[in-house]
Amino acid sequence: MLYPIAMNRFRTGLINWKDKEVRRWVMISAVLLGCFTHVFAQELSWPGDLSAYQPAVPRFRADTFDIRRYGAKADARTLNTQAIQSAIDACARAGGGVVLIPDGFWLTGPLVLKSGVNMHLQHGALLQFTRDRSQYPLVKTNYEGLVAVRCQSPISAEGAENIGITGQGIIDGGGDAWRMVKKSKVPPDVWQQLVSSGGVLSKDGKTWYPSASSLKGSETSDAGVWKPGMQIEDFAAIKDFLRPNLLKFTSCKKILLQGVTFRNSPAWCLHPLMCEDLTVSHITVYNPDYAQNGDGIDVESCTRVLIEDSHFATGDDGICLKSGRDEEGRKRGMPTQYVLVRNCVVYHAHGGFVIGSEMSGGVHDVVVQHCTFIGSDNGLRFKTTRGRGGVVENIFVDGVVMENIVHDAILFDMYYMATNAAVPIGEVKAEPVTEATPVFRRFLIRNVVCRGAQRGIYIRGLPEMPVQQLKLEHISLSDTREGLICSYARQVRFDDLYVFPVKTDPVMELAQVQDIRFDSLHFDPDARCLMSLRGKDNAGIRLAGVSPARGDGMIRYADGAVPAMVQLQGK
């Protein structure tokens, strides 16, 4: 009963420090906050044993099946689908081995990988998937976390084990024949080339579509989403809109992607779904920066994943973890878990490393080490929204370097694509907590350096479910437009934070937060205001080791915030 009584008096401004109830609440809160913060800090530590994260690596027989023996021709004209698929099938029947793609230009339609097969591309090999969209039949599959109908992926496998794509060659998905393009995303000469090549324009003339079928799909509600009673033939009129992912592996085990360049995907580039033991090593993924939905790799509902020593430049998220969308994702109930990402570089992308927004099955036990993000829209991007549900927890990030980030270096956003995200703080109404309420908790992020971004750190939780239990250590943010913005968060610790934004009035903005601690905080000595605090529900904010040392005058209070909510060292 003490907390409601005391907080009500704080909110109404009727604070009487002689009141025994108020003094008891303050003392108890201080003790509990200190104990809780200590326990939280002790529990949230770097995982000592990463053996659970290590995937089992497939082993392949040495027998080689050269696609030329099955009639394939490297003349850039012959459609080699049947010849290459015959080599894959023969290899699988023989118990596995290597399907060899020699150097040369190999034109093909969609291929299905089988158990035991390692498709190996020699240096100088270009496996070019045809731009003839009629070669890709409609199939029932899964897309963006929902059961859907799409065109068959150029490379697919389902229920296979011990499969691989290796070598030094290039796989081109022919995505430019599928993708719509926004006029605002490309230079004028590229736009003119698209328009003159054929296709159709949207009614407002701002988007180019490769066909009338593609345009019709863009105007169709829930295009491609499978609903009870539907047949695949029901989607024929919008077939061209239902772009495939370049690679789609479903329910496969022991997968190796190594050395190859994947480029120009119609939609997502690499999509392992409900797979186990995936190793991705030394690959390159490239899509134009205007490639709509042109993600690099989307790991969905997978267990034991290693992504290492790889480079990504994409039109959407670079490295992304997912686990299904909304009720369907929760019913599937398959989290993405035990993922290790290390020594990767991401250039243009919507996010360097991303979790969400389709994370309804949960994501947990993820380690990201020694990655570099240059020129991406966001660096570390964690996104969800009401209705998703799912728990994202035990996420560990260490040693990330960023430069020229367009938006946010570190982003936690629980309002992804929400229409009410711009409602002023305090006016957003809390909703009942249900299984559809998403949870972000237990993140440890350390040793991050960013030079250049719109915002250094942006944290936006929900009133009913704040972002919680975050620990950010040894973070250096410079030449950002804004420093730290944090709302609806609790149990957050910042340790050794250097925040030097261009905008220093204020350096940090906090609203409706509880149990927030800053230890060793560094900022521009010429800053006009260190922190703006808004809202009547703030509590337990502590600043220690502030450099330069400043007094209460460096904190601005508004919308019900009062000085009693903040504890300065020595005060």
Distant-in-sequence, close-in-space partners of 462: CB < 8 Å, separation ≥ 6: 386, 414, 415, 430, 431, 437, 438, 488
Among residues 240, 316, 408, 413, the one annotated as catalytic is 316
- Find out whether the peptide bond into 110 is cis, omega within 30 degrees of 0: no
**What tokens appear for 117 in the block?**
């097969």
**HSE of 116, CA atoms in CB hemisphere, 13 A:** 16
- Residue whose token pair is 């698929």: 85
d(CA 41, CA 444): 10
| DSSP single-letter state for residue 13 | T
353 neighbors 381 (Cβ within 8 angstroms): yes
Over its C-alpha atoms, the chain yields an Rg (Å, rounded) of 26
b/e 526-553 (16+ beta carbons within 10 angstroms → b): ebebbbbbbbbbbbbbbbeebeeebeee
**Of these residues, 350, 365, 377, 398, which one is catalytic?**
350
Cβ contact 174:267 at 8 Å: no
Question: In whole angstroms, what separates CA 439 from the centre of its chain?
Answer: 15
What is the rounded distance in angstroms from the CA atom of residue 62 to the CA atom of residue 84? Answer: 18
Residue 350 annotated to the active site: yes
289 is known as an active-site residue: no
With 0-12 CB in 10 A as exposed, 13-18 as middle and 19+ as buried, what is 61?
Answer: middle
Q: How far apart are CA 89 and CA 99, in angstroms?
A: 10
The Cα–Cα gap between 390 and 384 comes to 9
228, exposed or middle or buried, with CB in 10 Å at 0-12, 13-18, 19+?
exposed
Question: The tokens 């029901």 sit on which residue?
Answer: 234
- Angle between helices 2-12 and 20-43 in degrees, nearest 10: 110
End-to-end CA distance of the chain: 27
HSE (side-chain half, CA atoms, 13 Å) at 118: 21
In this structure, what token pair is assigned to residue 348? Answer: 């243009």
Q: Which amino acid is at 486?
A: C
Return the closest-CA partner of residue 516 out of 494, 532, 534: 494
Measure the CA–CA gap between 434 and 418, rounded to whole angstroms: 18
Nearest Cα residue to 450 out of 409, 499, 396, 397: 409
Q: Are 461 and 434 in contact (CB under 8 A)?
A: no
Q: How far apart are CA 285 and CA 320, in angstroms?
A: 13
Question: What residues act catalytically?
Answer: 316, 350
